[in-house]
């Protein structure tokens, strides 16, 4: 049994510095431009692919780290640079997690590398679950997948909404209902390969924050994919459906377990934004002079900064714990994954708002990045499960009761 330690190892420290340098030198200088343009920052994605940060190999190695900390570490650094660009670069990870989580080894080997493309020609992936009438309530999906036995093909119809990289991704992973009577237990995930007829982008959304990240509807009209595109395979699906029809317990819900495993990483994204705002506000408070002294000399300002730092550090410990648990097969018995995302998301909102307050008028105008960080931070209490849904997961886990 190794002694307890929170020290990062040499590899982790190097990786952290490498991503920090990229975030500082490439991402942050471009952040304001892409926020204003509200477009996918392809040149920055290409830079990330060129240095190997956006690549199958990088994610493979990061997932392989037995401490589980590599992914949260690098994610925090990238999002410290900018959350919109960060999500454009790491947004494919949710589709990758879905394929890795429910796909067969052959499917993982075939499709995960395609989610990234190559260093010369990077590609994106999208994970499409949400629909207009099925946001928090993932069990209410209307998108249908029907099996055509004669051709061994699945036929998908429906409209997904608010999908990161939706319609511009090469690989889409779509969650659809195969037996609506079974609600969430009658759902399955499908890989939709590049250029499949019938899949198109619907409306692209104009957003409050993370505006460099593309968010759009995905329309599926008679989308036909070969039987082998069903993640996990037909045999496993049929067994699962049969168990559900008999009222027997089954494995966890596919979409929910994908979200659960990715929550600590989303918490790390929020941490990056919170830390950026805290550091900026700290520097500003030491330099800005009013009433003949730096504003940090007032406890009202200094204590805000003390609280901001305390909250960020507390959130990071929750993120690291959940990431370590997930990597080492420790079950989230008290909803620890949700706790980490809940805390980090709410800390990011509070810290960025306090940072605006510390900067005063300078915090409210676009000459400084703080107002952008506050706009960006809000997404972390909404996507991949709202704060209310995280509280639902934690309260159900700690009580063992069906809290509604
Ligand atoms: C920028 C962006 C990117 C996104 N990317 C993706 C993506 O890539 N893939 C994808 O599938 N989805 C994506 N989403 C969708 C996102 O996951 C949903 O928006 C989110 O799950 C909330 O669903 P909703 O918006 O329908 O809100 P609703 O479910 O309508 O919730 C509205 C409010 O009611 C509350 N509420 C709902 N049910 C309960 C309850 N039982 N108890 C207490 N409160 C409740 C919510 O917490 C919230 O405050 C994205 C969304 C955004 C904005």
Global pTM value:
0.96
Tell me how far the alpha carbon of residue 382 lies from the centroid of ligand 1, in angstroms.
6
Per-residue model confidence as pLDDT tens for the chain (404 residues): 668 899 999 999 999 999 999 999 999 999 999 999 999 999 999 999 999 999 999 999 988 899 999 999 999 999 999 999 999 999 999 999 999 999 999 999 999 999 999 999 999 999 999 999 999 999 999 999 999 999 999 999 999 999 999 999 999 999 999 999 999 999 999 999 999 999 999 999 999 999 999 999 999 999 999 999 999 999 999 999 999 999 876 655 566 666 677 899 999 999 999 999 999 999 999 999 999 999 999 999 999 999 999 999 999 999 999 999 999 989 999 999 999 999 999 999 999 999 999 999 999 999 999 999 999 999 999 999 999 999 999 999 999 999 99
Q: Which residues are catalytic?
A: 384
H or E element: which one contains 159? strand 153-164
Rg (CA), the chain: 22
Whose CA is closest to atom 25 on ligand 1? 135
Whose CA is closest to atom 26 on ligand 1? 135
Dihedral, CA atoms, 23, 24, 27, 29, nearest 10 degrees?
Answer: 170
CB 314 within 8 A of CB 342: no
Reading the block at residue 15, the tokens are: 């990786």
The 3-state DSSP class for residue 187 equals strand
Tell me how far the alpha carbon of residue 225 lies from the centroid of ligand 1, in angstroms.
28
Tell me how far the alpha carbon of residue 362 lies from the centroid of ligand 1, in angstroms.
32
Listed as own residue / partner, the contacts of 45-52 with beta carbons closer than 8 Å and 24 or more positions apart are 45/88, 45/89, 45/122, 45/124, 46/122, 47/22, 48/22, 48/89, 48/122, 49/116, 49/117, 49/118, 49/119, 49/120, 49/122, 50/119, 51/22, 52/119
Q: Distances from the Cα of 229 to the Cαs of 138, 168, 226, in angstroms?
A: 21, 19, 6
Ligand 1 atom nearest the C-alpha of 136 is: 29
Whose CA is closest to atom 50 on ligand 1? 162
Ligand 1 atom nearest the C-alpha of 137 is: 29
As for ligand 1, residues whose beta carbon falls within 6 Å of it are 127-130, 135-136, 162-164, 207, 210, 215, 379, 382-386, 388-389, 392
Tell me how far the alpha carbon of residue 380 lies from the centroid of ligand 1, in angstroms.
11
Whose CA is closest to atom 30 on ligand 1? 135
Ligand 1 atom nearest the C-alpha of 387 is: 47
Question: CA 219, CA 50: separation in Å to the nearest integer?
Answer: 32
Residue 41: alpha-carbon gap to chain centroid:
18
């Amino acid at each position: 049994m190794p002694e307890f330690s929170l020290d990062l190892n040499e590899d982790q420290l190097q990786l952290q510095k490498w991503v920090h340098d990229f975030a500082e030198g490439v991402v942050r200088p471009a952040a304001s431009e892409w926020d204003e343009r509200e477009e996918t920052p392809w040149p920055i994605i290409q830079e990330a692919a060129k240095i190997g940060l956006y690549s199958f190999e990088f994610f493979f190695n990061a997932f392989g780290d037995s401490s589980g900390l590599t992914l949260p570490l690098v994610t925090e650094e990238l999002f410290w640079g900018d959350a919109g660009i960060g999500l454009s670069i790491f947004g494919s990870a949710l589709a990758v997690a879905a394929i890795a989580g429910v796909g067969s080894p052959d499917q993982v080997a075939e499709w995960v590398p395609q989610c990234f493309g190559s260093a010369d020609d990077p590609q994106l992936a999208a994970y499409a679950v949400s629909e207009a009438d099925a946001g928090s309530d993932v069990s209410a999906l209307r998108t249908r997948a029907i099996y055509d036995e004669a051709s061994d093909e699945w036929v998908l119809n429906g409209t997904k909404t608010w999908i990161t990289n939706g319609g511009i991704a090469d690989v889409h992973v779509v969650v659809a209902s195969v037996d609506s009577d079974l609600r969430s237990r009658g759902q399955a995930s499908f890989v939709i390969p590049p250029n499949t007829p019938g899949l198109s982008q619907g409306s692209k959304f104009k957003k409050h924050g993370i505006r460099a990240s593309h968010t759009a509807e995905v329309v599926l009209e008679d989308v036909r994919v070969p039987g082998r595109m069903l993640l996990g395979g037909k045999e496993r699906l049929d067994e699962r459906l049969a168990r559900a029809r008999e009222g027997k317990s089954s494995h966890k819900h596919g979409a929910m377990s994908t979200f659960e495993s990715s929550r600590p990483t989303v918490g790390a994204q929020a941490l990056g934004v919170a830390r950026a705002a805290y550091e900026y506000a700290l520097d500003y408070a030491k330099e800005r002079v009013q009433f003949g002294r730096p504003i940090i000399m007032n406890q009202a300002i200094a204590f805000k900064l003390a609280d901001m730092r305390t909250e960020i550090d507390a959130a990071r410990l929750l993120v690291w714990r959940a990431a370590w648990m997930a990597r080492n097969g420790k079950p989230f018995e008290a909803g620890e994954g949700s706790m980490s995302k809940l805390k980090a998301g709410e800390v990011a909102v509070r810290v960025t708002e306090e940072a605006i307050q510390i900067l005063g008028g300078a915090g409210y105008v676009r000459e400084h990045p703080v107002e952008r960080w506050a706009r960006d931070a809000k997404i972390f209490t909404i996507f991949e499960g709202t704060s209310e849904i995280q509280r639902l997961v934690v309260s159900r886990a700690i009580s063992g009761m069906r809290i509604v």
